[in-house]
Structure 1
């Protein structure tokens, strides 16, 4: 075979490969949710779980993988987002199961639901053997169409007492030497004011092996934890949006040192500056994180400090809300 034939053959093969690739991409691009079995389930869902008459928040995301397989992520009433390898759907009914996370039991958590025009509803079977009813609605996109105009900064902590704050449960929070202090594990602390879009500055200090968090709108946790500086960044470690967003750098300081967060939240888009370095830049928070106060994502929410995981101190808490 001469050289011209070889070159022509290669060009032909390349052309066929490109054509096949283009055809596949065309097929993928043509797939629409309503053309897939269970396609109306695709999207994000804000869920309310009835646990012994107490309403607790949860969250579900369903995505299309390939041509017809439904996969997703799930945030239970505790823990963080967990992957769902397959969501089954048939005649308006859907189900999935996921292995335990922080639970001590070995049994999978399973969910069975029904999709209707009003939303989703069904039952959750926990790893501990409990069964709870749930309902869910499509989560709002929270897309902003204009650049925020910032108002005046508001000092949320007066350095004297707990005015403007309330504890969820028996209060252990005190003010000592102008510092907002939780000397031991106990109740979480929530601002009485609620906010939509804002810039938040907060300074904090913790002891060795402690753990806390700053919840934005009471729903999205920015993680505070004493992890080694040598740890690879993770959504579960310092500065991460718990279970969702991974910092680009580990900038944690030693326990006993004052550290800072400067956080901007507009819609779902968050930027986190920790100790002077931007570690998360204009990233979307998909949904609520474990420990959220509620799943009403379209509503304003408070700033809340986690106090149930160990000693923590805060000072210079300043928020600048959007007008």
Structure 2
């Protein structure tokens, strides 16, 4: 086949494709969607977006019950004197938390840099110094405590700042049932230091140390709790975004 013939064949093929394209019709679902709200992202990675509620900006813990017990220094808070719980309650959300385990290493296993982020005041995302520190896998850093280990260990060295970005979907319960009836379980996605370590994990229930996880019925919106486990873990830059999927109006009769 010479060059002229090849060009003619190619042109004919393109013409045929164009004709097929002209006959195709765009698929339209008919669903009427509301316009997504405009949210301005943070200027730098980890900064709160414009629709976030800042829970700790490095200055005070006034949005937390018990916050006066913790020590605030140089833009971070140090675990001290008890656990703290948000004064407000939240349902489904995106939560950003930054933490650092003590630079001076003391202890081992669960006694080293231990704290926790309790979603809905009962489902624990473990905070621990898991850099060169062996413990049971479903209790190491970024585990859903006693339910599942992280898929990978991406802990930074002791004293270095680390990030948790958590997407939490609260469980739904049958409010009319006398017994605990779960209509929809809770789910957690966790990004630790930029790496997905929990991918839409289905929660098995409340966090317990001495017995299997099990659900207890609770309201949709619950506070967030930061644990005091006796180690001076640092926290900073904590913010939250409540999330709600867009709801479109389906075509009538469909």
Residue-pair matches, total: 170
- Tell me which of 124, 142, 146 is aligned to 1:243: 146
1:179 aligns with 2:92: no
What do you get for the CA RMSD once the two structures are aligned?
2.6
Which structure has the larger Rg over C-alpha atoms? 2
Look up the SS of the partner of 2:200 in the other structure: strand
**2:118, 2:125 within 8 Å by CA — same for their partners in 1?**
yes
Look up the SS of the partner of 2:228 in the other structure: coil
Distance in 1, matches of 2:226 and 2:90, equals: 15
Unaligned runs of 5+ in 2: 1-35, 40-50, 106-111, 171-185, 245-254
1:316 aligns with 2:237: yes
Alignment of 1:16-165 (within 5 A): 152-165=51-64
Unaligned runs of 5+ in 1: 1-148
Distance 1:160 1:228, change over 3 A: closer
Question: Residues 169-188 of structure 1: CA distance to partner in whole angstroms, max 9, x if unpaired?
Answer: xx630221121222x4x300
Under a length normalisation based on structure 2, what TM-score does the superposition of the two structures give?
0.61
Distance 1:178 1:230, change over 3 A: closer
How far apart are residue 231 of structure 1 and its match?
4.4
Distance 1:230 1:195, change over 3 A: same
Higher RCO (C-alpha under 8 Å, 6+ residues apart): 2
- Tell me which of 199, 204, 218 is aligned to 1:281: 199
Distance in 2, matches of 1:221 and 1:190, equals: 13
Look up the SS of the partner of 1:290 in the other structure: coil
Distance 1:254 1:314, change over 3 A: same
**1:162, 1:174 within 8 Å by CA — same for their partners in 2?**
no
Q: In structure 1, what is the equivalent of residue 157 of structure 2?
A: 254
Question: Residues 225-278 of structure 1: CA distance to partner in whole angstroms, max 9, x if unpaired?
Answer: 112347488221110000002211111111100001000011311101001100
How far apart are residue 153 of structure 1 and its match?
1.1
Under a length normalisation based on structure 1, what TM-score does the superposition of the two structures give?
0.48
How far apart are residue 316 of structure 1 and its match?
0.8
Distance in 2, matches of 1:231 and 1:297, equals: 34
Question: Residues 257-315 of structure 1: CA distance to partner in whole angstroms, max 9, x if unpaired?
Answer: 000100001131110100110001011011010389x9443431111111133111111
Distance 1:278 1:156, change over 3 A: same
